[in-house]
Amino acid sequence: MPNFWLRPLTTLGFIALLSLLLWATSSAIAALMFFSAALLFYLQFHLRNLKAFAGWLAQPEATSIPQGSGMWAPLFSLLYQQQRRQSSSETDLSASLERFERAAEAMPDGIVILNNKDQIEWCNSVAEAQLGLSLERDRGQWLAYLLRQAQFSDYLAAHNYREPLIVKSLRNRDLTLSVQLVPFGDAQKLLLIRDITQIERVETMRRDFVANVSHELRTPLTVVGGFLETLVDAEQVDAAQMRHYLQLMLEQTTRMQRLVEDLLMLSKLESGNGGLHEGPVDVPRLLDTLNREALSLSDGRHRIRLDIHSSDGLHGNEDELHSAFGNLVSNAIRYTPEGGEIALRWTKQPDGAAFEVSDSGLGIDAQHIPRLTERFYRVDRGRSRETGGTGLGLAIVKHILTRHQAKLEIESTPGEGSTFRAVFPAQRLIQLGKEAPSAS
């Protein structure tokens, strides 16, 4: 641009020179008329270019930049180059913004961008679902006004965003959200929203688990400790009383031993340590063993029947299946009153096979059935402790069946009895004496 003004100055100088020559060779009037006509022509030339420039400014497009001459040619050329650079920058910026939005949409967490007035500039679909927002409707709205939670308003006003805020979703009260503001740019903020419902649920289960284990161990320890203190303080204890105390202590220590064994079994199943060592399992033979164990545990108090309607076996871990089936059988014996009937069945089904235990016991209300496989969940805590249950049996059954791609079905009617059914898929079945298929 250093020579931008050289051409118009040269042109004006040339007109002035011609006017002076005309004055010298003719007259002042002729020179003045020539000078005026030349200036008018030159002015008309610039006005025409100015009009083209003004028209382009009204609708600026790189493809419609006017063609100029004289001093306007380099000006329009520079304008064209600047417009091309701006158009390229806008294209790059638009592509970058589109990439950012696609990346933000792919995030599993909610994202809301706020301006310096805490108004919504943009949010992804996850944030819309979590907070009940609509970008089309709520763009430019104050976030605190939309959320209407006092704790969030206080968090926003405190300007201390080092720790996240835990809130309940207004759209779904079952959702627990962790929200955290991250300042950036020119007083803008990025609101990150994470669904921590499952984490909170797991943490609650952990606290409940620790409390339940502590409670389950404290009761027998208290009993044992009480008897030991009695024996220590007593100057003389007769043999019958001593045997009674020792029998009660043995029962409580056995209860603690069963609890510890079940906890270790559950921990092993949940962690998957050692993998699942599988092989052919002779289910009819296993059920015969379970039947004998059931008769021993019942000690003649129940009528126990074994019905085997299939000769098929299973591909799986025999020790784990024995534990799962044994838990179902022992539960039926514990919760069936004396004189009741218990049936063990192994049946073929169109899509697999099932082992089921039916009893004529007290039955279970429908509201309790979905939670029976939770650790330490009991319908009747007092009766469970009286019968020696640890509260972990059905949790162990569920894990073992899951490892064998099987499922647990529970049917129960209060006052009539219950049926617990372990259903195995067809790919787990084998014909005994043949090589077992590989289970996926």
In this structure, the answer to whether residues 260 and 188 fall within a common structural domain is no
In this structure, the answer to whether residues 211 and 248 fall within a common structural domain is yes
> Is 102 within a domain?
no
In this structure, the answer to whether residues 283 and 416 fall within a common structural domain is yes
DSSP 254-316: HHHHHHHHHHHHHHHHHHTTT----EEE-HHHHHHHHHHHHHHHHTTSSEEEEEE----EEEE
- Return the pLDDT at 436: 43
Q: Average pLDDT, stretch 426-436? A: 75
- Return the pLDDT at 439: 40
- Lowest-confidence region among 289-293, 353-357, 395-399: 395-399
> Is 73 within a domain?
yes
In this structure, the answer to whether residues 367 and 353 fall within a common structural domain is yes
Q: What is the pLDDT of residues 167-220, one digit of tens each?
A: 887 777 778 898 899 888 888 888 899 988 888 887 877 777 777 777 777 878
In this structure, the answer to whether residues 331 and 413 fall within a common structural domain is yes
> Is 1 within a domain?
no
With bands split at pLDDT 50, 70 and 90, how would you rate the model's confidence at 4? low
In this structure, the answer to whether residues 417 and 315 fall within a common structural domain is yes
Domain holding 351: CATH number? 3.30.565.10
> Is 436 within a domain?
no
> Is 101 within a domain?
no
- Lowest-confidence region among 53-67, 237-251, 320-334, 381-395: 381-395
In this structure, the answer to whether residues 115 and 179 fall within a common structural domain is yes
In this structure, the answer to whether residues 297 and 381 fall within a common structural domain is yes
What is the spatial distance between Cα 201 and Cα 204, in angstroms, rounded to a whole number? 5
In this structure, the answer to whether residues 286 and 382 fall within a common structural domain is yes
Token pair 């007769």 in the structure block, residue: 238
- What percent of the chain has pLDDT above 90? 18
In this structure, the answer to whether residues 308 and 420 fall within a common structural domain is yes
What is the spatial distance between Cα 66 and Cα 72, in angstroms, rounded to a whole number? 10
- Return the pLDDT at 308: 92
> Is 323 within a domain?
yes
> Is 438 within a domain?
no
- Return the pLDDT at 440: 35
- Number of structural domains (the chain) is 4
Q: Which of 153, 175, 195 is the last residue of a domain?
A: 195
- Return the pLDDT at 321: 93
Mean pLDDT of the chain: 82
With bands split at pLDDT 50, 70 and 90, how would you rate the model's confidence at 351? confident
Token pair 């092989």 in the structure block, residue: 279
In this structure, the answer to whether residues 141 and 214 fall within a common structural domain is no
What is the spatial distance between Cα 323 and Cα 436, in angstroms, rounded to a whole number? 21
In this structure, the answer to whether residues 317 and 363 fall within a common structural domain is yes
More confident position, 260 or 292: 292
Domain holding 149: CATH number? 3.30.450.20
Find the domain containing 393 and state its range: 279-430
For 377, the 3-state DSSP assignment is coil
Domain holding 230: CATH number? 1.10.287.130
- What percent of the chain has pLDDT above 70? 90
> Is 440 within a domain?
no
CA-based nearest residue to 68, from 44, 52, 84: 52
